[in-house]
């Protein structure tokens, strides 16, 4: 009887060890990512695709893990430019940057309307219109007006609520003008069309016997493509649809070492995974992935930084007039 009992105990112990080894070998693990930061986060909602906010005025930048504080709780139309969050209401516009104290606000007069056009580094450009006229106003990170100019010839291209580009685009009767917010430098693209996208200003123009479509994330061109024939044959210029980023969250592994697994399919056919308990994907932009794991927020790098842009086509005509 004792021998049978001993054999049973040995068999049970062997089974437990075998199961433990199997569970350990099948335990899900992070793959293809590099953890960059981890922080506490509010149990709130994602704003403008890049910030995590609750009912308070403190928010977390989901790309860096840094926090920003507005003077009042979040409301109005939200925009993101660089590391800066802008909120536009009927009363005015307020902005704050992650990880830094400087923030500023602007009150609006009766009947005045304002839309952020571009954010480049520490400079924000607003399109302000009252009942009589419109102007462009460039504001520093401390709220000081750096420059302003009336809008006389042309119509500034306004972004939809969401991500604001780093360069101002103005459609004119003869083409498109791009303006650098920090330096006030203007680049004239004769005969061009343009549309504002989250990644920058998309421009189309005729070049010889081809039609060229170019992306300007800043005043410098980043990428372009040419097709034979005139641009008018291609129809209206529309924002390029990004390659979809697919996310699948499932339970992986064996108890008690099982956990949630998020599998992310990136452009180019590459796949990465992150793991954790109570896993929720909050932000994904092709280079950065941010998830909530329980009460913590984690940020990962999923790919290399984009290459620097090349010299732009067009005529530099100096600075905008006052």
- Predicted confidence at residue 144, as pLDDT, reads 92
Q: Read off the pLDDT band of 309 (50, 70, 90).
A: very low
- Three-state DSSP at 259 gives strand
Nearest to 227 by CA among 201, 209, 202, 203: 209
- Predicted confidence at residue 179, as pLDDT, reads 93
- Predicted confidence at residue 73, as pLDDT, reads 66
- Predicted confidence at residue 136, as pLDDT, reads 94
How much is the average pLDDT of 65-84?
79
Residues with Cβ within 8 Å of residue 268, at least 6 apart in sequence: none
Higher-pLDDT residue of 242 and 111 is 111
The tally of CA atoms less than 13 A away on the side-chain side of residue 222 is 14
For 1-15, the pLDDT digits (tens) are: 556 666 666 666 666
- Predicted confidence at residue 156, as pLDDT, reads 93
Higher-pLDDT residue of 117 and 121 is 117
Higher-pLDDT residue of 28 and 146 is 146
Higher-pLDDT residue of 152 and 321 is 152
**Where does 121-192 show beta strands of DSSP type E?**
123-129, 134-139, 145-150, 155-156, 162-163, 168-172, 175-179, 185-190
Nearest to 140 by CA among 93, 89, 94, 182: 182
Neighbours of 148 (CB within 10 A): 15
Task: Name the average pLDDT for the chain.
Answer: 80
Residue spans of the domains in the chain: they are 25-36+243-301, 37-242+307-319
- Predicted confidence at residue 316, as pLDDT, reads 44
**What is the phi/psi pair of residue 71, to 5°?**
-70, -30
Higher-pLDDT residue of 261 and 204 is 204
**What is the phi/psi pair of residue 21, to 5°?**
-65, -40
Higher-pLDDT residue of 204 and 51 is 204
pTM for the complete prediction?
A: 0.76
How much is the average pLDDT of 18-47?
73
Name the percent of the chain lying above pLDDT 70.
Answer: 79
For 257-305, the pLDDT digits (tens) are: 677 888 888 777 788 888 888 888 888 877 788 988 888 899 998 865 4
- Highest mean pLDDT among 62-76, 120-134, 293-307 belongs to 120-134
For 186-201, the pLDDT digits (tens) are: 999 989 999 998 788 9
Name the percent of the chain lying above pLDDT 90.
Answer: 18
- Predicted confidence at residue 187, as pLDDT, reads 92
pLDDT above 90 (res 116): yes
pLDDT above 60 (res 313): no
For 166-175, the pLDDT digits (tens) are: 999 999 888 9
């Amino acid at each position: 009887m004792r021998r049978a009992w001993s054999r049973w105990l040995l068999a049970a112990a062997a089974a437990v060890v075998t199961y433990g080894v199997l569970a350990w070998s099948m335990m899900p693990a992070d793959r293809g990512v590099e953890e960059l930061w981890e922080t506490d986060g509010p149990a709130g909602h994602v704003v403008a695709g890049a910030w995590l906010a609750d009912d308070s005025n403190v928010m977390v930048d989901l790309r860096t893990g840094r926090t920003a504080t507005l003077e009042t709780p979040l409301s109005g139309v939200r925009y993101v430019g660089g590391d800066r969050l802008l909120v536009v209401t009927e009363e005015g516009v307020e902005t704050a940057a992650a990880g830094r104290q400087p923030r500023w606000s602007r009150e609006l007069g009766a009947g005045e309307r304002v839309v952020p056009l571009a954010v480049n580094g520490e400079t924000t450009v607003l399109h302000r219109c009252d009942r009589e006229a419109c102007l462009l106003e460039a504001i520093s990170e401390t709220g000081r007006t750096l420059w302003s100019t009336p809008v006389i010839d042309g119509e500034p291209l306004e972004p939809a609520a969401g991500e604001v580009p780093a360069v101002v685009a103005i459609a004119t009767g003869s083409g498109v003008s791009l303006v650098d917010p920090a330096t006030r430098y203007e680049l004239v693209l004769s005969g061009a069309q343009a549309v504002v996208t989250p990644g920058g200003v998309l421009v189309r123009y005729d070049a010889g016997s081809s039609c060229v479509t170019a992306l300007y994330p800043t005043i410098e061109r980043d990428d372009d493509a040419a097709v034979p024939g005139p641009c008018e044959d291609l129809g209206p210029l529309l924002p390029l649809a990004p390659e979809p980023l697919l996310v699948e969250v499932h339970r992986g592994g064996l108890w008690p070492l099982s956990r949630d697994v998020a599998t992310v399919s990136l452009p180019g056919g590459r796949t990465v995974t992150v793991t954790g308990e109570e896993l929720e994907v909050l932000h994904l932009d092709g280079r950065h992935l941010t998830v909530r794991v329980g009460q913590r927020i984690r940020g990962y790098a999923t790919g290399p930084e984009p290459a620097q842009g090349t010299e732009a086509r067009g005529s530099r005509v100096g600075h905008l007039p006052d």
